[in-house]
Chain A
Amino acid sequence: MKDKQPLLKVKNLKTYFFTEDGVVKAVDGVNFDVYPGETLGIVGESGCGKSVTSLSIMRLLDEKGKIVDGEVIFEGKDLLKLSEEEMREIRGNDIAMIFQEPMVALNPVYTVGDQIMEAIILHQKVGKDEARKIAIDMLKKVGIPEPEKRVDEYPHELSGGMRQRAMIAMALSCHPKLLIADEPTTALDVTIQAQILELMKQLQRDLGMAIIMITHDLGVIAEISDRVAVMYAGKIVEYADVKVLFKDPKHPYTWALMNSIPRLDIEQERLFSIPGIVPDALHFPSGCKFHPRCEFATEKCKSEEPELIEVGSNHFAACWNIEKLEAAKDSVRVGENR
């Protein structure tokens, strides 16, 4: 896969929010690539910058948020240099997005069909009847029963799971090359979440789009991603193929996170817990931003910020003390009793 050209290349992206209380460095120098047809998972806790990253790619930030540096290269074009007009042409057509709360993303005064057709008419330049046919077809594709009837219903008439399906149908109606999914299953029940994840995998197989999956749930990441970026405090701290990452995490944060979730598949006596609190974006620590919560932190970590370095094939981590974690892993292995 690596010999292909990346579909999306994010280079040194920096998005800051200028608030009354100070500058929030929500995304502070993020680099990653997305290749055609693959799924990149971005995982992190609240305030790590994962959602802001996706909104920056789409250039959908509110007026306080500014992209202060970096490039977002999509099929050779830097999206940050496009005019608003050109960007609109890309949004919904080449890059589509789905959100956590479909009720917010769907307009309550239009029928589901109208909203799907709007994008189709806009981007595919087809007539109304043709657009309606495509819309019904899309609803069928995402597994909505009786699509001919549902196409004329309003968002509130659909259940949560159906709304999420309708939003996916809307996002995919123009066959985007990249789908950005921001916590698409977080608000759903687990049995519905399973349905939606299954649907996304199947649609990816059928339509061949690339997906950026943003979530806090390591389970969802393991389920759907090919590669994973772990974010903490506005930075990517680890970046690897999914199997490598889960088998052999190199950053203390990734490692600790994996040990702190209760698991269904293994027995755990006591959960590993990361001390302290998730840092507030206004007051990120100096040096490595994880150092106050890291059990391997040294003096160096407090003052110098580590860069992402290659620690294995296509495996990057930003940590000064990778050997220390390796040594500790022998005494505590992921998934073993402790």
Chain B
Amino acid sequence: MSKEVILEVKNLKKYFPIRAGVFKRIVAWVKAVDDVSFNINKGETLGLVGESGCGKTTVGMTILRLYEPTAGQVLYGNRDFSKLRGKELREMRRKMQIIFQDPYSSLNPRMRIKNIIAEGIITHGIAKGKEAEHMVAELLKKVGLSPDQMNRFPHEFSGGQRQRIGIARALAVNPELIVCDEAVSALDVSIQAQILNLLEDLQKEFNLTYIFISHALNVVKHISDRVAVMYLGKIVEIADKKELFSEPLHPYTKALMSAIPIPNPELKRERIILKGDVPSPINPPTGCRFHPRCPIADLKICSKEEPELREVKPGHFVACHFA
């Protein structure tokens, strides 16, 4: 794998205002993403894992400018994607695409498959007319659908097939990076495997880079090269996949791993059951955000000082005072 950095996210923040009252005054901020930095190398898959409300989806959306970042930089090549405007932004958008979770909401129900997939091709002037149609046919074959289905409408397809259509739409503009936002989470187990395999095949064929966002640790483990674990708007640990899964250092990562039920009834393992719920990102705990649920927290430090994400081993970063 080449080590060429394709995307660099620096101190990314995304705060959502909470408005209330007659004058819609801002009464609080949801700090969905709070100072997140990471790099992605060309051709690799970075897994972004965490529970609901940890900000993983917001990271993906903010990188793609589907949400405007509150602060921070998204360096693509040598340009700051977060600062582009108008035509320049629209043209750059084809480099980075997204595949969504919900195969039902992600396709316009009133458009034919042909037009859904061709939209990007036509928008960017890659081809038109018969030529565009030919490209659509090729794309459909690539994602495992038959080209003679291109005149149909989304509701005639199953969830897995719709997800394939969503993938074809993203591929149509020859992107370099694809954000997969819970791309297989809504699918049945047997279909999930099909889509994961397809994503892997396409990655090899087109040298794609993936940001794979999911709450399912097992799926992230399967597809990623590196994994970042998020908790309440922050990355708490980021490392090479093998390293992270064989030697997790952050207590949250450990708990998350032990919480996943494993389909092997004979496997006996130690369970770390976390206390309580994920706190609200509106008013996150002081110090280390994980400290109220952490089994090893030392209140003297953890509730006061926020741990930095530091490199404890080459390529293995952890934000914990005790790692």
Question: A interface vs B, CB < 8 Å?
Answer: 45-46, 159-162, 189-195, 197-198, 216-223, 225, 242-243, 246-247, 256-258, 260-265, 268, 270-275, 277-278, 280, 293, 335
Contacts and interface: CB of A to CB of B under 8 A. Distances in A.
The 9 closest A-B pairs by CB, nearest first: A219-B261, A262-B222, A260-B193, A194-B259, A189-B51, A45-B188, A218-B263, A274-B190, A273-B193
Contacts of B222: 262-263, 268, 271
A264 B257 contact: yes
Most buried by B among A193, A219, A225, A260: A260
Interface string B251-272: 0000111111111111100010
A45 to B, nearest CB: 4
B263 A189 contact: no
Given A194-B271, A264-B221, 6 more contacts: A190-B256, A222-B264, A223-B265, A260-B190, A261-B189, A265-B262
A271 B184 CA distance: 14
Given A264-B217, A271-B197, A277-B161, A195 B274 contact: yes
Contacts of A221: 263
Contact of A263 (B52, B158, B263): B263
Given A190-B51, A190-B260, A223-B261, A260 B267 contact: no
A270 B200 contact: yes
B218 interface: yes
B218 A262 contact: yes
B277 interface: yes
Interface residues of B, number: 42
Interface of B: 51-52, 158, 160-161, 188-194, 196-197, 200, 215-219, 221-223, 245, 255-267, 271, 273-274, 277-278
Contacts of B265: 222-223, 225, 242-243, 246
A237 to B, nearest CB: 13
Nearest to A260: B193
Nearest to A263: B218
A67 to B, nearest CB: 26
A35 to B, nearest CB: 18
A169 to B, nearest CB: 17
A170 to B, nearest CB: 19
A259 to B, nearest CB: 8
Contacts of A159: 277
Contacts of B266: 243, 246-247
B145 to A, nearest CB: 11
A209 to B, nearest CB: 21
A286 to B, nearest CB: 20
Nearest to A224: B261
A191 B52 CA distance: 11
Contacts of B267: 265
Contact of B263 (A190, A192, A194, A222): A222
A190 B49 CA distance: 11
Contacts of B52: 189
Given A217-B261, A222-B264, A263-B262, A162 B277 contact: yes
B245 to A, nearest CB: 7
B193 A271 contact: yes
B264 A190 contact: no
A270 B222 CA distance: 9
B190 A257 contact: yes
A268 B190 CA distance: 16
19 contacts: A45-B188, A190-B215, A193-B259, A197-B261, A198-B273, A219-B218, A220-B261, A246-B264, A246-B265, A257-B190, A260-B192, A262-B196, A263-B218, A264-B245, A270-B200, A271-B222, A272-B193, A280-B158, A335-B264
